[in-house]
Amino acid sequence: MPLLKDGRFVEDQWQRLEEHEIVPRDGAVIVDLERWQVERETLKERTAPLGLLLLPGQSPEEVAEDLPRFDLIALSFPAFKDGRAYSYARILRERLGYKGELRAVGEVLQDQLFFMVRVGFDAFEVNTRTSEEDFAAEMAKFPAVYQPSSCGETTVFARRHVGLAQCAAE
């Protein structure tokens, strides 16, 4: 699946391991939560990058103390109607302070990209119909936002407050 990061398609350096696959010594790998829980001590000894896949119903708070170990966390969208990964992304960024790559995987729809960025996603496995231009168009759709977000955009209220302060100073 193509990987969109920072508005451009990039080569995915990560290998998602299935439960039967042996963990290679080198290379960036993504394991699921069950494998992490079973092989935690062994996986912690790896010096190569390690990622974690969380499915709906697997809260990031379950691995809060291990977050510094993960270079990437992939949150699954198994169906466009299942939005739990939005909440998990926000928890990871705002409450738990996760700074690594946050990747949306699964049913990642073009018209949801803007909202995914707002909650903290910075990489997306997208279908082949989505282009870099489509991503840019989605990001430009809403030039002003009303609610604060994980991505740090200035809200309309904050802009207005600055404008009022400048008027009062004159």
DSSP string, 60-97: GGGGGGGGGG-SEEEEEESSTT--HHHHHHHIIIIIS-
pLDDT at 139: 66
CATH code of the domain covering residue 55: 3.20.20.70
Distances 20 to 49, 81, 157 between C-alpha atoms, Å = 20, 30, 52
How many domains does the chain divide into?
Answer: 1
pLDDT at 157: 63
pLDDT at 99: 95
In terms of residue numbers, what domain contains 29? 3-143
pTM of the model: 0.82
pLDDT at 114: 87
Q: Render each residue's pLDDT in the chain as its tens digit; 170 residues.
A: 789 898 889 999 999 998 788 888 899 999 999 999 999 999 999 999 999 999 999 999 999 999 999 999 999 998 878 889 999 999 999 999 999 999 999 988 888 888 889 899 999 998 767 777 877 777 677 666 556 556 666 666 666 655 555 655 66
Let me know if residue 82 belongs to a domain: yes
As a dihedral over the C-alpha atoms of residue 3, residue 61, residue 37, residue 39, rounded to 10 degrees, the angle is 60
pLDDT at 64: 96
Residue 23 per-residue DSSP state: P
Strand order from edge to edge, sheet including 50-54: 8-10, 3-5, 123-125, 101-106, 72-77, 50-54, 28-32, 14-16
Let me know if residue 158 belongs to a domain: no
Let me know if residue 151 belongs to a domain: no
Alpha-carbon gap, residue 25 to 134, rounded angstroms: 38
Let me know if residue 94 belongs to a domain: yes
Let me know if residue 170 belongs to a domain: no
pLDDT at 44: 92
